[in-house]
Amino acid sequence: MSARFDAMYSKTGRPSIPPEKLLRAQLIQMLYSVRSERLLMEEIDYSMLFRWFVGMNLDEPVWDVTVFTKNRNRLLEGDVAREFLCEVIAQAQAKSMTSDEHFTVDGTLIEAWASLKQIAQIAASIQEFGFTNPILVDERAGIIAGHGRLLAARKPQLAGVPVIPITHLTPAQKRAYIIWLCHGPDRFQ
């Protein structure tokens, strides 16, 4: 992913936060349920473990919260976080560390991590054009595709949303489809 990181940032101007450190800090925030960027910066400032994980020296100053947020938004807009998580899933699957029988997600932070700007754009589109892109669910009503659309549907408080059950896929096909959604069609041509 280094080439992708290098392409996102200019070589001139004020230095920004290295994207790999941003990703590591985001992982800390998600895994330890740190509720805000300001609190995350405090935690990184005081915790030697967090500093080590992020890749910061003990005497290195912690980033300003607004700089961190601006750089984080750039990282999310570049779809790097999604690509990173898709790579993590692919590696876990390659080492048989995943199971088709059981899948658990802590959904408490999903709405907080969704891009509010993107959700607002989707909600505006739904209000103007209607719900034209259904949510795909598996046989257990788990969302395969459409997490953002579901969150956006809550903004105008729709009574219901169109859903297409995808029950004909084998577990391997479902994984392949989700990976395809993560990477996009050009990656496999």
Tens-place pLDDT, residues 54-105: 999 989 999 988 888 888 877 776 667 777 778 888 888 888 887 776 666 5
Report which of 130, 109, 116, 123 is spatially closest to residue 154, judged by C-alpha positions. Answer: 123
d(CA 49, CA 33): 16
Mean pLDDT score of the chain? 77
What number does CATH give the domain 102-188? 3.90.1530.30
Beta bridge partners of 143: 137
pLDDT band at 53 (very low <50, low <70, confident <90, very high): very high
- pTM value is 0.49
Confidence bin at 51 (pLDDT 50/70/90): very high
C-beta of residue 9 within 8 angstroms of C-beta of residue 88: no
| Alpha carbons 177 and 144: distance in angstroms, whole number | 9
* Residue 19 and residue 8 in contact, taking contact as beta carbons nearer than 8 Å: yes
pLDDT higher than threshold 50 for residue 188: no
Domain ranges of the chain: 2-77, 102-188
Q: Which residue has the higher pLDDT, 185 or 51?
A: 51
